[in-house]
Structure 1
Amino acid sequence: MRRGNEADEGRRPAPLETADDEVVRFTSDLIRIDTSNRGGGDCRERPAAEYVAERLADAGLEPRILESAPGRANVVARISGTDPSAPALLVHGHLDVVPADPADWTVHPFSGEVRDGLVWGRGAIDMKNTDAMVLALARDWARTGRAPRRDIVLAFTADEEDSAVHGADFLVRRHPDLFEGCTEGISESGAYTFHAAAPGGERVRLYPVGAGERGTAWLRLTARGTAGHGSKVNRDNAVSALAAAVARIDAHRWPVRLTPLTRAAITEVAAAMGVKVDLDAPEFDPERDLDALLERLGTASALLASTVRNSANPTMLDAGYKVNVIPGTASAGVDGRVLPGAEDEFRTTMDELTGDRVSWGYRHSSPALMAPVQSPTFAAMRAALLAHDPEAHVVPVCMSGGTDAKQFSELGIVGYGFSPLRLPPSLDYAALFHGVDERVPVDALRFGLRVLDRFLTTVE
């Protein structure tokens, strides 16, 4: 609940008058707090959580810092809406970031330096920028006396860049009451500018909004054989068996599976690009024709290509301790991603590809998600973006990876990827995401602030 605020006395500033400066400062400050998540519990979000909580408290809110383990802190606060009968909306963002090596960067990744109209550093895109937008907006509402119609639950989470066990998963299992009334949520990986070239050569600005995610299936493969001397013939070699299975997985071509979301995404992206497509035409065979269709969409196909099939990419190998010793076991890691409704097919295929010599199991799994695109919430997202970029094309997409929305879905919360940014053609969002020299334009932060403000104050 919001308490009284000294800013209510005297002249109230115009909406977003102060927030324009705060969103830049907060992004920079959060980047300077190193919350690198190296996995296996090696991360400390507490300093960032305290920073967030202090600024929410300054806005008259009552944030709660919730630790799942020493240093692994989350922050949750609720903003009261004007309509108590309306369902609540969750706005969540994570505080941890992936590691960064300063030797690879032009600017130190934890400097938060503002240079040439850009804020530089790890988290500038993923996703301390959005955390900063949410903080600045909450404070602006308090200063200006404005409020959303729906209750807004703010959640700043730990551990999204690993398994979420210390973050969203902990909150869902231990503190579900904090999300009472939430029916929908928004978070990262959507509503950024994607610059594409139409077949005629004209430039098209797409804003992909995440309306689903493939499920996560991180696997561990294990082969067992007979240990022995490297100079002897050995037909029961665990390394050979594992290598053969990994090669089969790498070579496998997964069949096309068009979910209702991917069908909507293909149809709307094609329309924006001026490409005629009828996925229901009798002569259209997805298995035969889809790749050619994606080629016709040019660079825009990058929004779709990873979400029309399941996938399984070998990522780790572990075997042996000496070159002249054949080990008795060998293991591999595989990053699998699964479309909604294709879970059984994924398991059956992995059984076939690994064969009799190799066993496999889940190291970590989470469900695939789909959210409705013909909904008032999606319409409000589209309207908010078009209000600030009228020539844009807002399209739904399925995200190839995953977010904390998977954990919050266990509470019945439908998740969307909506972290608005207007980016110039010179900045490739996908390359910046977890990339070197991550940075965000100051103008993009202020654009996102306005789009979020419009969406959160108008969504029904």
Structure 2
Amino acid sequence: MAEDVVDLCAALLRIDTTNHGRGESAGEREAAEFVAAHLEAAGVPATLLEPAPRRTNVLARVPGTEPDLPAVLVQAHLDVVPADPAEWSVPPFAGIERDGYLWGRGAVDMKDMVAMVLSVVGTWAREGRAPRRDVVLAFVADEEDTGACGAHWLVDHHAGHFAGCAAAISESGGFSHRTFDKRIYPIGTAERGTSHLRLTATGRAGHGSRRNEDNAVLKLVNALGRLAALRHPVRLTPAVRAFIEQVGAALGVPVDLDDVDATIARFGPAAKLVENTVRNSTTPTVLDAGYKVNVIPGSASAEVDVRTLPGTVDELLAAVDDALGPDVRREFLQHQPPVQAPIDSPWFDAMADALRAEDPEAVVVPYCLGGGTDAKAFSRLGIDCYGFAPLYLPEGFDYRSLTHGVDERVPVEGLRFGARVLDRFLSS
């Protein structure tokens, strides 16, 4: 059994758990069996659950020394997005260590976190230690698609496993981000909602050479033009406001909440952490119309990636409907509300303390995730969900661009730092 967090991560990267979406997947079974075997070796019983063949989830619980305290959930997904080997410098599933980095699909999203958790649990077993409170573990399938075989299925069918969990941690937070002379560590306390839409326009089919005032393609294109022209207003949620104020104070730059765009522009590299979360967004991504150049089709459709900030969903959808007009109907492909957890919380304070214990110069701030995670599922159980998968990253390392990107990799010393931080947080 591997013990070092780097060896654990490398082994996980060598297991192909590609999720192609729309129900097509290599499956998470081998990775789930790997995780379960390591938990069992550390004396932690593990349960494997499959809602569909090879779509495997792992559940476990590490008892704490004070079991009456609220439990903490650690949730991480085992699946990864596709990788085209022709685009990569190394084979995507080789788990190669090179130049101080561990390379492979899933290195930062999010088999690094899986490895860090296994490393911490293994360390507790070897050293005869236990966490203060129960640590509930969920290593899940299908996060990279709908969660129907993973977190959402578990919440619907196995909610009892999460009884007593007050807070949860998972991906997309706790990593270092160098900005000027500061190391900023954003902890995810919110994330935008996901309201993916399919738009459909219908009209009169006919010959492409003839006049047609009922052209479905034109109806759709015109509606998309109006949608693209929307200028969504700034909406400062608690997490975003706190990020702007605290980062501005740390960097010593003026903060003007009446001109948020100008304020963010003064943040340098830290602007990327907040620029997508001061507004909602409506981004057309898929078009489908026609089958022959001289035929006007009877229908045309598009798909739009809609992201909503907490408290703005109804307002945003009303603006979308106004832009689409009467000739285009919409339906939800996915409709998951935004997520928010408290910033002024002992959970947030404990995460910040664990980071500062390993990096005394850490500037820890709350932030809002622009995309989405399985927090949307677990928050349905009343659990406060945080993005906290700690990593120490070298200056100039563009961590966020490697998520779903080519040549995904994670620094090996960053992994070891993250395991130490997780140990501090989960132990105490």
Please give the range of the TM-score, normalised by the shorter of the 2 chains.
Answer: over 0.9
1:184 to 167, 175, 186: 167
Match of 1:210 in 2: 188
Match of 1:266 in 2: 244
TM-score (norm 2): 0.98
What is the match of residue 7 of structure 1? none
After superposition, give the CA deviation of every residue in 1:362-408 in whole Å (9 maximum; x if it has no partner).
10011101111111110111111111111121110000011101100
Amino acid paired to 1:30: L
Note if 1:243 corresponds to 2:221: yes
Residue 407 in structure 1 maps to residue 374 in structure 2? no
Q: Distance in 2 between matches of 1:55 and 1:216?
A: 34
Match 1:381 to one of 351, 355, 364: 351
Query: 2:35 aligned with 1:57, yes or no?
Result: no
Unaligned ranges ≥5, structure 1: 1-17, 198-202, 280-284
Paired AA for residue 392 in structure 1: A
What is the alpha-carbon distance in structure 2 between the residues aligned to residue 426 and residue 344 of structure 1? 39
Q: Distance in 2 between matches of 1:393 and 1:54?
A: 37
1:219-239 deviation digits (Å, cap 9, x = unpaired): 000000110001101111101
Q: How does 1:46-445 map to 2 (within 5 A)?
A: 46-197=29-180, 203-277=181-255, 279=257, 285=258, 289-445=259-415
Q: SS where residue 91 of structure 2 aligns? A: coil
Say if 2:256 and 2:263, in contact at 8 Å, map to a contact too: no
SS in 1 for 2:112: helix
Q: Deviations over 1:66-111 (max 9, x none)?
A: 0010110000000000102100100000000000000000011100
How many positions carry a matched residue from both structures?
A: 427
Residues 254 and 263 in structure 2, CA contact (< 8 A), matched pair in contact too: no
- The one-letter amino acid paired with 1:183 is A
The farther-off stretch of 332-341 and 112-121 is 112-121
Between 181-190 and 425-434, report the one with greater CA deviation.
Answer: 425-434
The separation in 2 between residues aligned to 1:121 and 1:365, in whole angstroms, is 31
Provide the secondary structure at the position in 1 that maps to 2:20.
coil
Aligned to 1:8: none
> Take 2:296 and 2:179, find their aligned partners in 1: how far apart are those partners?
51
- Residue of structure 1 equivalent to 2:24: 42
CA–CA separation in structure 2 for the residues paired with 1:117 and 1:277: 38
- 2: distance between equivalents of 1:265 and 1:382? 14
Are 1:449 and 2:419 matched, yes or no? yes
1:277 deviation in Å? 2.4
**2:401 is paired with a residue of what secondary structure?**
helix
What CA deviation, in whole Å up to 9, does each residue of 1:162-186 have, x standing for no partner? 1111000110011011111001000
Partner of 1:28: 10
Please give the alpha-carbon distance, in whole angstroms, between the structure 2 residues aligned to 1:240 and 1:388.
Answer: 58
**Separation in structure 2 between the aligned mates of residue 294 and residue 242 of structure 1, nearest angstrom:** 35
**Partners of 1:390 and 1:276 in 2: CA distance:** 25
Write the distance in 1 (CA, Å) between the matches of 2:37 and 2:345.
35
TM-superposed deviation, 1:278: 5.7
- Give 1:29's aligned amino acid: A
Q: Distance in 2 between matches of 1:126 and 1:379?
A: 25
Further displaced range: 298-307 or 84-93: 298-307
Q: Indicate conservation of the 8 Å contact 2:79/2:141, yes or no.
A: yes
Higher mean C-alpha deviation, range 380-389 or range 245-254: 245-254
* Alpha-carbon distance in 2 for matches of 1:298, 1:141: 40
Letter in 1 for 2:247: V
How large is the RMSD of aligned CA atoms in angstroms?
Answer: 1.1
1:188-244 deviation digits (Å, cap 9, x = unpaired): 0001111112xxxxx221111100000001000000011000110111110111111
Cα separation, 1, equivalents of 2:378 and 2:11: 27
Structure 1 residue 32 displacement after superposition: 0.7
Aligned equivalents of 2:380, 2:368: Cα separation in 1: 19
Partners of 2:249 and 2:426 in 1: CA distance: 28
Matched AA of 1:56: L
Partner of 1:12: none
Q: In 2, distance between residues paired with 1:34 and 1:436?
A: 16
Task: Report % sequence identity.
Answer: 58
What is the CA distance between 1:42 and its match in structure 2? 1.0
